[in-house]
């Protein structure tokens, strides 16, 4: 909402001079769906809560057979919490909007085949909530009961580390190095693209990025970035759940793009 609101304020600068003020967005949402930032404030605390819940349910599921526990997480159309909670909590599957699935995938994955299983999914996405997963899981022959745990992503009181991270973000946001829009009389007039930016966490750095450049990287209909780094971790989730998949992690796979480039150069020569 802050990202969309800042874009509307920038568009209104041509009509209202009062809107020509510096803007800085700090990503703070448990969904971690802010474009231009790898992480957001609050997502880590919510992830800790979900992982703790998954660990407790996993102990109960270990003593049962052919039973699947469905955990609904927050996040809307963004599957960051569901994916990372599935990795950290040892879930058998994590169904998200970014990766479509059908009944065949449920039969192949077969959550609960080794006893009790845990599935993680966001409830608001159409077709991903418990209303659809419950009858689909009942179609698999090895599932007898599917207890619903419900939404469990409400963050607990934040630990000290995320609180300190908030302070590290507020400090550069109050004094951005590239916004010298203060005129000698003391009047502020900011109408350049870099006067409205987002302070994002990129790997190990804090980067100021103009929101006009991030506009093309955003899916406004589903409120998620078009490219998300954590999607590359999805195969690890299937490996930990002992799915029968083929994943080439050899040195040849890492150098495949270089090999193809060399072959293309030789063909042109």
Length of the chain: 269
| 253 has a pLDDT exceeding 70 | no
Residues 236 and 133 in one domain: yes
Q: Rounded CA gap, 59 and 265, in Å?
A: 56
pLDDT at position 126, please?
60
Residue 115: inside a domain, yes or no? Answer: yes
147: confidence class by pLDDT, cuts 50, 70, 90: low
Q: Please, what is the end-to-end C-alpha distance for the chain in angstroms?
A: 53
pLDDT at position 254, please?
45
Residues 101 and 193 in one domain: no
Q: Long-range contacts for 100-107 (Cβ within 8 Å, ≥24 apart)?
A: 103/136, 103/139, 106/136, 106/137, 106/139, 106/140, 107/140
CATH number at residue 47: 3.40.50.460
Residue 247: inside a domain, yes or no? Answer: no
Residue 267: inside a domain, yes or no? Answer: no
Residues 17 and 81 in one domain: no
120: confidence class by pLDDT, cuts 50, 70, 90: low
pLDDT at position 199, please?
86
Residues 194 and 235 in one domain: no
Residues 106 and 144 in one domain: yes
Residue 83: inside a domain, yes or no? Answer: yes
Residues 91 and 129 in one domain: yes
Residues 61 and 101 in one domain: yes
Residue 120: inside a domain, yes or no? Answer: yes
- Identify which has the larger pLDDT, 261 or 246: 246
183: confidence class by pLDDT, cuts 50, 70, 90: low
Query: What is the extent of the structural domain holding 19?
Result: 2-41+158-225
Residue 269: inside a domain, yes or no? Answer: no
Mean pLDDT on 246-269: 50
pLDDT at position 255, please?
46
Taking only the tens place, the pLDDT of each residue in 90-119 is 888 888 888 877 777 666 655 555 555 666
Residue 245: inside a domain, yes or no? Answer: no
144: confidence class by pLDDT, cuts 50, 70, 90: very low
CATH number at residue 163: 3.40.50.450
Residues facing 68 on adjacent strands:
117
Of the segments 69-83, 137-151, 154-168, which one has the largest average pLDDT value? 69-83
The domain tally of the chain equals 2
Residues 51 and 115 in one domain: yes
Residue 263: inside a domain, yes or no? Answer: no
Mean pLDDT on 186-194: 75
| 174 has a pLDDT exceeding 80 | no
176: confidence class by pLDDT, cuts 50, 70, 90: low
Residues 133 and 178 in one domain: no
Residues 35 and 10 in one domain: yes
Residues 124 and 8 in one domain: no
Residues 35 and 107 in one domain: no
Taking only the tens place, the pLDDT of each residue in 12-68 is 888 888 888 888 888 888 888 999 889 888 888 888 888 888 888 777 777 776 677
Task: Tell me the CB-side half-sphere exposure of residue 229, using CA atoms within 13 A.
Answer: 10
Q: Rounded CA gap, 246 and 242, in Å?
A: 11
Taking only the tens place, the pLDDT of each residue in 201-241 is 888 788 888 888 888 888 888 888 988 999 888 888 878 77
């Amino acid at each position: 909402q802050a990202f969309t609101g800042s874009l509307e304020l920038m568009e209104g600068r041509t009509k209202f001079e009062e809107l020509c003020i510096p803007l800085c967005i700090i990503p703070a949402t448990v969904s971690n769906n802010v474009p231009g930032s790898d992480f957001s404030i609050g997502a880590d605390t919510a992830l800790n809560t979900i992982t703790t819940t998954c660990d407790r349910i996993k102990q109960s599921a270990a003593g049962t057979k052919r039973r699947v526990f469905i955990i609904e997480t927050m996040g809307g159309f963004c599957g960051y919490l569901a994916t990372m909670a599935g990795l950290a909590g040892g879930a058998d599957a994590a169904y998200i909007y970014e990766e479509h699935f059908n009944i065949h995938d449920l039969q192949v994955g077969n959550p609960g085949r080794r006893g009790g299983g845990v599935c993680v999914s966001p409830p608001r996405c159409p077709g991903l909530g418990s209303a659809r997963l419950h009858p689909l899981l009942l179609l698999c022959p090895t599932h007898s009961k599917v207890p619903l745990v419900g939404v469990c992503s409400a963050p607990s009181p934040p630990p000290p580390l995320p609180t300190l991270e908030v302070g590290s973000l507020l400090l550069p946001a109050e004094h951005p190095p590239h916004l010298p829009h203060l005129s000698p009389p003391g009047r502020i007039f900011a109408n350049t693209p870099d006067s409205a930016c987002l302070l994002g966490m990129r790997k190990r750095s804090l980067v100021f990025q103009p929101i006009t450049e991030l506009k093309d990287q955003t899916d406004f209909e589903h409120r998620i970035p078009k490219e998300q780094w954590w999607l590359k971790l999805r195969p690890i989730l299937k490996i930990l759940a002992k799915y029968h998949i083929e994943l080439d992690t050899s040195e040849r796979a890492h150098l495949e793009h270089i090999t193809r480039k060399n072959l293309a150069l030789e063909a042109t020569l």
